[in-house]
Amino acid sequence: MSSPGCPYCSSSDHESAYRAVLDTLQIMGAHPEADEDRIVELLQERGYSPSVAEKLNVFVPTALGWPLLKRLGVEPFGGYFIAYDEADEEVQIPVSSQHYFIAALKLAYCTLEHGYSEDLPLQVYEHVIGRSAEINAVNKALAQDVSVEGGTLGPLKVLRIRASDLLDTVVG
């Protein structure tokens, strides 16, 4: 199953990450009130490792929010995330190295371009982007009548995953 007309969603080297994103969407959509710990637990019950479950929990909402932020005139952080190493030093992790993020981002762009689908219905999209720290920050600004157009967001700081776990680019 892939979004109609989406050339990225059927790519073979993208398939495993895409399936994991779909599982995450299904879980987040079915459990909109679940906290991060519960989402990670539910992903692990589906067979994902603790590390992969954490990545999916963080990256899927963030990636789904990026295209919406761009439409609002907000420039998301510039190509990397911040994670911390074992000495609690900041490490820049390239966005492009995160398969789950890229799979979710491609699905988000395909959805906004071609419409909601069985893979990503409107209600699930709304629940999942509600978990995005970036979307929540922009929503707070908009609620205070602050213009966000032309704004930028700093890099996402990933607190629940060590940098060494993010530097491992193997999907699985």
Give dist(CA 53, CA 24) in Å, integer.
Answer: 9
**Alpha helix (H) residue ranges in the chain:** 15-30, 36-45, 50-71, 99-114, 122-129, 133-143, 163-166
Residues near 63 by beta carbon (within 8 Å), at least 6 away in sequence: 100, 101, 102, 103, 104, 105, 107, 108
CB of 69 closer than 8 Å to CB of 129: no
* pLDDT on residue 171: 44
Please report, rounded to a whole number, the percentage of residues in the chain having pLDDT higher than 90: 58
Global pTM?
0.84
* pLDDT on residue 2: 41
Taking 70 as the pLDDT cut, the residues of the chain under it are: 1-13, 76-77, 168-172
Give dist(CA 88, CA 163) in Å, integer.
Answer: 10
Torsion sign over Cα 50, 107, 32, 129: positive
- Note the pLDDT tens digit of each residue in 121-159: 999 999 999 999 888 888 888 888 888 888 888 888 898
